[in-house]
Structure 1
Amino acid sequence: MRERPIVLTAEGRAALEQELEQLRTVKLPALRERLQQLSNEGDISDNSEYEDAKEELVLTEARIREIEHILRRAQTVVETGKRDEVRLGSRVTVIDEDGVTETWVIVSPEEANAAQGRISIESPVGAALLGKRVGTTVTVQAPGGEMRLTIQRIE
């Protein structure tokens, strides 16, 4: 089975590289040092703090491997030409039926973060906006129900 290609924005790649660097140089050494301190303090067989630190170490190492895997496979999208239609890396401003305006950056699933206004091309909204132009109204089947969005600006 062939893996899906990963395409990142330049900003998304930089953020992943920064996270990887922070995990490798700050968090991982601190966790290893903490585990060493706890094991030097005596019996670790029934020490919940030691177990918690060990679990955090495992999760941190897994995240490092995940980021390394993403970065090895990723292609960085090159922003070229006019921005007359929504594509990966576009900053899109939409208005909904209630007059609420929102701006999102359309990104790959690997760099999506709704709280930061970065929505995936695979999300209902991201998929509905792809390839559309300013003035187009799209209907989105979202988990909360159907909504209509009109594209006001593409950057």
Structure 2
Amino acid sequence: MVRERPIVLTPEGKAALEQELEHLRQHKLPLLLERLQQLSNEGDISDNSEYEDTKEELVLTEARIREIEHILRRAQMITRAGPQDEVRLGSRVTVIDEEGSVETWVIVSPEEANAAQGRISIESPVGAALLGKRVGTTVTVRAPGGEMRFTIQRIE
């Protein structure tokens, strides 16, 4: 039997997934079903690209609902007990790069990673390099775009 890895979420990540799930179930899914019904009532759907596109969007939405349900069923919450002097899952880390740019990221599981929101996965090159490090440590990250160096300024 294949053993699945545990899914660890921050409280914010769990709340965001629950909110997305509710939106998909309560709003998007009913709208897609209603639109499909309207299109099928309008006549021949055999060569209707809008009908096919809507049907595909419905399939993708249902798949995302199942994915979120699966994640939430298996999710374990991060506990932030103990000292926060090293980077770990759920840490908010402020770093400075070689050019002096300061960035702050939250280290999260892949299921709640969103680079645009400053939430990076522990499985990403940067997230993996930061794990277990302390303030003042400089890490070298080998990423597809090249090598980067970051110095940890703060861990929360």
* SS of structure 1 residue aligned to 2:149: strand
Q: What is the TM-score normalised by the length of structure 2?
A: 0.97
Q: What is the TM-score normalised by the length of structure 1?
A: 0.98
The one-letter code matched in structure 2 to 1:41 is E
Query: How many residue pairs get matched?
Result: 155
Question: Structure 1: 5+ residue runs without aligned partners?
Answer: none
Residue correspondence of structure 1 range 53-72 to structure 2 within 5 A: 53-72=54-73
Ranges of 4+ aligned residues in structure 1 off by more than 4 Å: none
Look up the match of 1:84.
85
Q: Is 1:25 the counterpart of 2:22 in the alignment?
A: no
Alpha carbon RMSD of aligned pairs, Å?
0.8
* SS of structure 2 residue aligned to 1:39: helix
Shift of 1:74: 0.9
Residue correspondence of structure 1 range 1-155 to structure 2 within 5 A: 1-155=2-156
* SS of structure 2 residue aligned to 1:7: strand
CA distance in 1, matches of 2:58, 2:145: 37
Shift of 1:3: 0.9
Shift of 1:112: 0.4
CA distance in 2, matches of 1:23, 1:80: 34
CA distance in 2, matches of 1:81, 1:21: 34
* SS of structure 1 residue aligned to 2:152: strand
Q: Identity over aligned residues, as a percent?
A: 86
Shift of 1:21: 0.4
Shift of 1:81: 3.1
CA distance in 2, matches of 1:89, 1:17: 18
* SS of structure 2 residue aligned to 1:31: helix
Shift of 1:144: 1.1
* SS of structure 1 residue aligned to 2:106: strand
